[in-house]
Structures are given as structure tokens and as C-alpha cells.
Amino acid sequence: MKKIIFLVISIFLSAKDINLSNRAAYITSECYTKTVDKNGGRHNPCYTCHINSKEPNYINDIDLQASYDFPEYATKNHWSNLFKDRSKEVAKISDKEIIKYVREDNYKNLSKRLKHLPKTWDVNHNGKWDGFIPDCNYSFDKNGFDMDKNGNPTGWVAFSYRPFLGTFWPTNGSTDDVLIRLPEKFRKDKNGKLSTKIYKENLNILKEQMRDSADNFSRYFVGLASKIRAIPRLYPKGTEFLHSVRYIDVKNGKTTMAKRMKELRYAKKTSYLTYSDLKTKDGNDYKEKDDFPDRLEVFRVGNAEKGLYTKTGWFYEGFIEDKKGELRPQNYEETLYCIGCHSGIGATTDSTFAFPRIMDWKWMGIASLMIKDKNNEYRNYLLNNHSGDEFRANDEVKNKFFKNGKPRKEAFAKLKNDISYLLFPSLKRAINLDKTYKVIVDEQSYIYGREGHIRPLDNIYKKVEQGQSTQLKPILKR
């Protein structure tokens, strides 16, 4: 009964937010990229997200590499920030000013503000914050475990991972980290006592079970969670993720992760859907799309406090900078921006990107990106897209790796042994990227696009025809 009441309340609360500036905000700006250039050259960044997926992701949306398959409303590109010229606004911000800004901590006061709730944040007017209150201290031991001010574990664990392809690289504007926390049962031994050893073992079991190659359906977790089966590519119910998206700092002639957060994203798995459940859900979604091709998705379960429900068992919510640079809750439309990728593409594993790409249990520092290009993943992205971002607006990467459209052998040779050669921006570019995003913060114009750029982007459609061909030959494997 409580669950039914919650769903009804959530539907009511979000319904008043349905009058959106962009009702298709779950379709990302990258999806409007022109795949054919003025010289007839073809560029395919689409294969990173739209693939023949691995079960229990049954979306299998490789066909979206071949066409702009949008509902009629979404054929118009509503991400108007892509077409803005910010050169005047950026010129007003000095290097000294932006560096000082990105080094300020805007995370430490967020929990206090949520506990002493501003009325404008209280969506359901019950006098308290019903969503996630950040409790990570960002103080990690050598094994990646976060400790509170008294030296006690918070349950959050940091891990380094291979950045997902394209937009998410530092050279395109942001640094980040991702933390995971399993429910308390997974952190205790069979006697109910907290155990770092047991927790680490369960994390490592999960790490192995989330890989594409995992096929062991008879494995169980240990300790107090020993009766819970570790299902391949599915997280246990109650799993949480915390993802900070940050500016780029410049210190001692090098780029590094800034203290200031652009966003703080949180996800919690509140429902456990089996392989069969997920197959039915994806089948129903395909049928609805086929029967009603112009019907937009509406995510009615959730609100700005609780986050939005993905239909795959997860709630996602986020905090973003206000005009003063302090973190505030995202509104419904700003959160909708995150939901499409986490609930409706073939590239995710149980709705997530980072954890299946894990390398080690440690905080995601810049130094952790100085690794080899395993399986030529980053090399192939450059050769298929001929750029370092979906918009082909990163001239620095293009000039570094290509000359007159042809690959520079020496650059690709360096990339083979060190992906940071690709991922790190120059100091000048890093500072300019910080400035361009600061302009968006000043405008509070996130609902029109969050991508930082100085001049209007050329390789983006303002409008596409429904089902318009991309003129690409789909790439079968990422």
C-alpha cells in the first residue's frame, strides 16, 4: 500500500512539471550531430552508445547508428545553447578569476543546506528533504574506502575506470569521479559485524560479475549477504552510486581535477528486475514505439527531491550549481537530461556506464588515466569519428591526431601506451572550457544545453527529418 501511495504522490508531483521547455530532454544534444561533413566524409560517434547490447540489456539499438529515429516533436533540436556565441562573455572572465573559482569547495555546505531546507527546494511542502543527503567525506584510504571525520567508514568506495568514449573526456570540459556503496548487509560478516575484508570481497565479486564476459549464475556473495546470488550484469537492490562532475584545475603546468563541482549525481537501485522482467520491459517499449512513433516518453514517477525513476529499477537525482556557484537540487527538466542515457540505450550495464569499466579500487585521479589503450578502444574511436568529441568541435584533438584528414602515426603511437595523451587538454584549452561553462552557470541555462564551447557549433542539425538517414554503415562492435 505504501508503494502505491508513493507512486500516486510521485505522479502528481511530477505532473505539474510536465510543461517543459524541452519535452524531449531525455534525447541528448549529441544525437543531433551531422555524420557527413562538407566533403562527404563520414563520422560515426554513434556506435559508442547504440550497439547490439549484452543481456539483460535487450535494447539492441544498433539501428540508431543508421537513422535519426525521433518522435516528430524531437526532430527540432531544442538544445539552443549549442548555437550561442559566448566569446564576449568568456572574454570578460580572467584566467586568475576562473582558477580561483574552480578551486573553491561548493560541496561541504550542501548537506547542511538540505537539513535546513530552503522552502523553494521542498517540492512536496512537508518541511524536510526526502531525497539523498550527501554523506561522502571524500577522504579515502589506500584501498579507496571513504572515511568520515571520526575515521569511520561511510560505505562509499572509490574506483578508477576507463572513461567512456567521447564527451566525457577532460579534453571536452570536465573531470569526474564515481563512487559505489553496497547495502549494509554486504559490509558485514555472518555475525552482523562490519568487516572491511567481507566488504572488499563482495565488491570484487560484483566487479567480476558486471563484466561482459561474466557467465556464472551460481555465484553468491559472502558474509551476511551469503544467501544473495550475484547475478551477471545486475547490481543488488540497494546499490548506490555517487558521481561528481568537476571543473579542470591547472597546477604546476599540468591539468588536474578541480575542487569545485559542476554537478553531483546520485543513483540508487530501488527495485530488482530480473532478466525476464527487463526483456518484457524492453519488448513493451519497442511495441509502443512501433505503435505510436510520435509519442514522447514521460517519466512520471519521481520529482526534484526523490529523483526520477528509470523504469529499470533505479532512481536518479542530481545537484547543480546555482547562480552563486553553490550546489542546488536539479529541477525535473534538468534531471530528465540524465534519464535517457541511463534508461534507454544499448551501451549500459544495468543502467550504468562506469563500474563495468573499473580498473582499480582508488579515487579517480588524473594520474590513473596514464594507461595503455586496451584493445585499441580510443584509437578506434578517433578513426571512426575523426575527432575527440561527438560534435567534432575539439580542434585540439583533431590537429594532434590528424593532418589533412589523415592519421598522424606518431600521435597514434603515443596513444597506444598512454591514453592521457588524448584525454588531457592543453592548459589554455582547460581554462577556456572552465570559462565557457561558467557562462552557463551565470545564465542558469542548463535546460538549453550544458556543453561548454565559445562559438556556435557547426556540425549540429537544428532540425532533422523524421527517420532521416545518417548515411553510416553501422559498426557492430565497440
Domain-wise residue ranges, the chain: 2-183+237-469
| Residue 405 backbone zone (phi > 0: left; psi -120 to 50: alpha; other: beta) | left
Which residue matches cell numbers 512539471?
A: 17
Task: Please name which of 70, 68, 166, 44 lies closest in space to residue 474, comparing C-alpha atoms.
Answer: 44
Mean predicted confidence (pLDDT) in 420-448: 97
Relative orientation angle of helices 377-385 and 409-417, to the nearest 10 degrees = 150
- pLDDT per position as a tens digit, 109-141: 999 999 999 999 999 999 999 999 999 999 999
Find how far residue 272's CA is from the centre of its chain.
21
Q: Quick check: 61 and 343 in contact, CB under 8 A? A: no
Task: Mention every residue, 6+ apart, whose C-beta is less than 8 A from residue 221.
Answer: 186, 202, 205, 206, 228, 229, 230, 236
Task: Please name which of 61, 11, 9, 107 lies closest in space to residue 475, comparing C-alpha atoms.
Answer: 61
Mean predicted confidence (pLDDT) in 56-78: 97
Q: What is the pLDDT of residue 5?
A: 40
Range with lowest mean pLDDT among 8-12, 129-133, 405-409: 8-12
Calpha distance 343→298 (Å, rounded)? 12
Q: Where are the beta strands (DSSP E) in 230-292?
A: 240-251, 254-269
3-state secondary structure of 412: helix
Q: What is the pLDDT of residue 238?
A: 98
Q: Quick check: 209 and 59 in contact, CB under 8 A? A: no
Element (H, E) at 156: strand 153-161
What does the block give as the cell for 275?
532478466
Q: What is the pLDDT of residue 9?
A: 40
Confidence band, pLDDT 50/70/90 cuts, at residue 367: low
* Whether residue 408 has pLDDT greater than 70: yes
| DSSP class per residue in 418-474 | -THHHHPPPHHHHHHHHHHHHHHHHHT-GGG-----SS--SSB-SB--TTEE---PP
Q: Quick check: 239 and 266 in contact, CB under 8 A? A: no
Calpha distance 50→340 (Å, rounded)? 12
Residues in a beta bridge with 263 = 245, 320
What does the block give as the cell for 4?
502505491
| DSSP class per residue in 58-99 | ----GGGGTEE---GGGGB---GGGG---HHHHHTS-HHHHH
Q: What's the predicted TM-score (pTM) here? A: 0.94
What does the block give as the cell for 279?
526483456
Calpha distance 268→464 (Å, rounded)? 35
Confidence band, pLDDT 50/70/90 cuts, at residue 366: low
Mean predicted confidence (pLDDT) in 139-149: 94
Mean predicted confidence (pLDDT) in 162-170: 91
Confidence band, pLDDT 50/70/90 cuts, at residue 7: very low
Amino acid, res. 458: D
Confidence band, pLDDT 50/70/90 cuts, at residue 370: confident
Q: What is the pLDDT of residue 362?
A: 86
DSSP 33: B
Residues in a beta bridge with 302 = 308
Q: What is the largest CA-CA distance in the chain?
A: 68
Mean predicted confidence (pLDDT) in 245-249: 97
- Per-chain mean pLDDT for the chain: 93
Which residue matches cell numbers 540497494?
A: 238
Mean predicted confidence (pLDDT) in 380-391: 96
* Whether residue 12 has pLDDT greater than 70: no
Burial class for 404, CB neighbours closer than 10 Å (0-12, 13-18, 19+): exposed
Mean predicted confidence (pLDDT) in 309-329: 97
Find how far residue 402's CA is from the centre of its chain.
28
Element (H, E) at 358: strand 358-360
* Whether residue 163 has pLDDT greater than 70: yes
- pLDDT per position as a tens digit, 253-290: 999 999 999 999 999 999 999 999 999 999 999 999 99
Phi, psi angles (nearest 5°) of residue 447: -70, -10
* Whether residue 194 has pLDDT greater than 80: yes
Which residue matches cell numbers 556557484?
A: 325
Q: What is the pLDDT of residue 17?
A: 44
Find how far residue 451's CA is from the centre of its chain.
13
* Whether residue 471 has pLDDT greater than 50: yes
Task: Please name which of 243, 167, 177, 252 lies closest in space to residue 433, comparing C-alpha atoms.
Answer: 167
* Whether residue 6 has pLDDT greater than 90: no
DSSP 297: P
Q: Quick check: 462 and 76 in contact, CB under 8 A? A: yes
